[in-house]
Amino acid sequence: MRAFVRLLQAAAVGLAVMPAPGQAQDQPLIPERRFVLSENADMPGGDLKSIFDTTIEACERACLTDTSCVAMTFNSRNGSCFPKSAAGPLAQYAGAY
């Protein structure tokens, strides 16, 4: 009888931690848009705009929220961001991501 009660308790705990229907299942595991950062690399050309005195996190948000942005370059040496309409070939540039 004790084993049966423990089994029921374990089942109740298992149900308590499961997400409600339609809650977690609606959220994709992998976001639609994401970045792969390359250190000390630039992608010349294709700039949509220039953003100065910013952070890499703000640069990422600027690109992720612009549907025409497919890539970005962030210059950590002067805090500038360049959201891009096209991902050009990688070029060596110290301090760029």
**Mean pLDDT of the 60-87 span:** 95
CA gap 22, 2 in Å, rounded = 35
Q: Is 21 exposed, middle or buried (0-12, 13-18, 19+ CB in 10 A)?
A: exposed
E-strand ranges in the chain read 41-42, 71-75, 80-84, 91-92
Full-model pTM: 0.66
In the chain, the amino acid numbered 11 is A
What is the residue-averaged pLDDT of the chain? 79
Using one digit for the tens of pLDDT, what is the confidence trace for 26-71? Answer: 666 655 766 788 999 999 999 999 999 999 999 999 999 999 999 9
Per-residue pLDDT for 8 more than 80?
no
What is the model's pLDDT at position 24? 52
For the chain, percent of residues with pLDDT exceeding 70:
65
